[in-house]
Amino acid sequence: MAKDTEHCAASSSGDDVTHGLVDQRVDDSGTRRTFLKVAAAAAATAATEGCGIGAPTGEEFLRQHYKTLTPDDKKRIFALIEDEVRGRSGVTIHMNDPAPIDGVEFAYALNLSVCNGSRRCVEACARENNLPDDPEIRYIRVLEMEKGSLEFEEATPYYDREKVPAEGKFYMPVQCHQCDNPPCVKACPVQATWKEPDGIVVVDYSWCIGCRFCVVACPYFARRFNFVEASIPPDRINPTQGYLSNRARHKGVVEKCTFCLHRTRTGRLPACLEACPTGARKFGNLNDPNSDIRKIIESKRVYVLKEELATLPRFYYFFG
């Protein structure tokens, strides 16, 4: 797509689509498609005339919901995305879409006794998931807490120190808890976010209308909105990309931690875990009685954040 600093017809049509949808969906979510067919025809025409870098293509406007995509559709879409990224940044990426593994349910545990607030997880996550630096999007916030209290009013993620841990403080990283009763999923008016059988809450970036209801619904402040088109230096793009996890997100969609599903569904551990210098992070399969995570839940006194909200997080904290 040609570069053009002016906003062209495609982007304004796209935004009209977004706003029309919020009203349309009240009757039937299917009307999104009907609506889009008309709007996207205009968008597709305009797209050929040139538009801002990375604005959604006509193909993306017409793209079906993730759950209705056939393997052939995925193959075609993945090839298109790979071409698009190659054209835009010169990076050859490998799009994939690993399926949830039968009988596997993921959970995470974090040892607050040893976390030292070094934020290595935050940066590793940013590199793994292609998060932009300007404006900054980070999935993990490390809260600096007063020792002896769990008072979030006095906690801050904005600590800037020469050395951590600081005297009298402990550190509590917060990211998406992949709740079993997720308020964000309930809030989505177009079902662009849902819970997968292995427990991971995912977002279909091509279906998200950017209403941000989920962002406010999340009690853990785990969701992030792309206010502007992200730009990542080509040498920092992670070429292994999952359709539901770390692929390029357009302006106007919501994203979140996915437990690195492009890694974890292929057996690897999440990037944040491997980057932790203190080994505070533990991840595994809840259904496997011999997994680390299972042993922690069975033998340590774990707790979940904001338990009283009955969100049933899959992210456990413990002191040990």
User: Which parts of 207-246 interact with other proteins (CB under 8 A)?
Assistant: 210, 227-228
For residues 15 and 21, give the distance between their C-alpha atoms in angstroms, rounded to a whole number: 10
Among 264, 272, 315, 317, the residue binding other proteins under the rule CB under 8 A is 264
The two structure tokens encoding residue 78: 């993945």
Nearest to 150 by CA among 118, 185, 112: 112
How many residues interact with other proteins (rule CB under 8 A)?
87
Classify residue 23 by its DSSP letter. H
Q: Does 173 bind other proteins (CB under 8 A)?
A: no
- Cα–Cα distance list, 96 to 40, 85, 173, 181, 242 (Å): 26, 14, 29, 27, 5
Nearer to other proteins, 58 or 157 (CB): 157
Residue 159: count other Cβ atoms within 10 Å of its Cβ.
15
Beta bridge partners of 202: 194
Q: Does 181 bind other proteins (CB under 8 A)?
A: yes
Q: How far is the CB of 177 from other proteins (least distance, A)?
A: 13
State yes or no: residue 57 binds other proteins (CB under 8 A): no
Q: How far apart are the first and last CA of the chain?
A: 53
**In the bound complex, what is the minimum distance in angstroms from residue 119's beta carbon to other proteins?**
4
- At residue 230, φ and ψ (nearest 5 deg) are -75, 140
Rounded to a whole number of angstroms, the minimum distance from the CB of residue 207 to other proteins is 10
Q: What is the DSSP letter of 53?
A: T
Query: Hey, which residues between 279 and 318 contact other proteins (CB under 8 A)?
Result: 279, 282-292, 294-300, 304, 307, 310, 312
* Residue owning tokens 């600093």: 5
Contact 95, 241 (CB under 8 A): yes
The pair of structure tokens assigned to 60 is 């993306």
Shortest approach of other proteins to residue 30 CB, angstroms?
A: 8
| HSE-up (13 A, CA, CB side) for residue 95 | 17
For the window 2-31, what string marks contact with other proteins as x by the rule CB under 8 A?
-----x---xxx-xx-xx---------xx-
CB of 84 to other proteins, least distance (A): 22
Residue found under tokens 């002191």: 319
Residue 276 sits in the site that holds other proteins (CB under 8 A): yes
Using CB under 8 A, which of the segments 44-52, 70-78, 83-91, 97-105 binds other proteins?
Answer: 97-105
With CB under 8 A as the contact rule, the residue among 35, 52, 65, 240 that binds other proteins is: 65
**At residue 47, what is the residue type?**
A
- Which among 89-97, 215-223, 240-248, 276-284 is the span making contact with other proteins, rule CB under 8 A? 276-284
How remote is the C-alpha of 266 from its chain's centroid? 18
Only segment of 39-47, 48-56, 151-159, 241-249 that touches other proteins (CB under 8 A)? 151-159
CB of 278 to other proteins, least distance (A): 6
Q: Which CB atom, from 191 or from 240, has the smaller least distance to other proteins?
A: 191
Rounded to a whole number of angstroms, the minimum distance from the CB of residue 114 to other proteins is 7
Site for other proteins, residues 186 to 205, rule: CB under 8 A: 186, 188, 191, 194-197
Chain residues 109-138 in contact with other proteins, contact rule CB under 8 A: 111, 114, 116-120, 122-123, 135-136, 138
Task: Name 282's Cβ contacts closer than 8 Å, sequence gap at least 6.
Answer: 108, 109, 110, 111, 273, 292, 293, 296
283: β partners: 108
Nearer to other proteins, 87 or 134 (CB): 134
Q: Is 108 among the residues that bind other proteins (CB under 8 A)? A: no
Output the CA–CA distances (angstroms, integers) from residue 81 to 53, 138, 195, 225, 255, in the order listed: 14, 23, 24, 21, 18
CB nearer to other proteins: give 15 or 59: 15
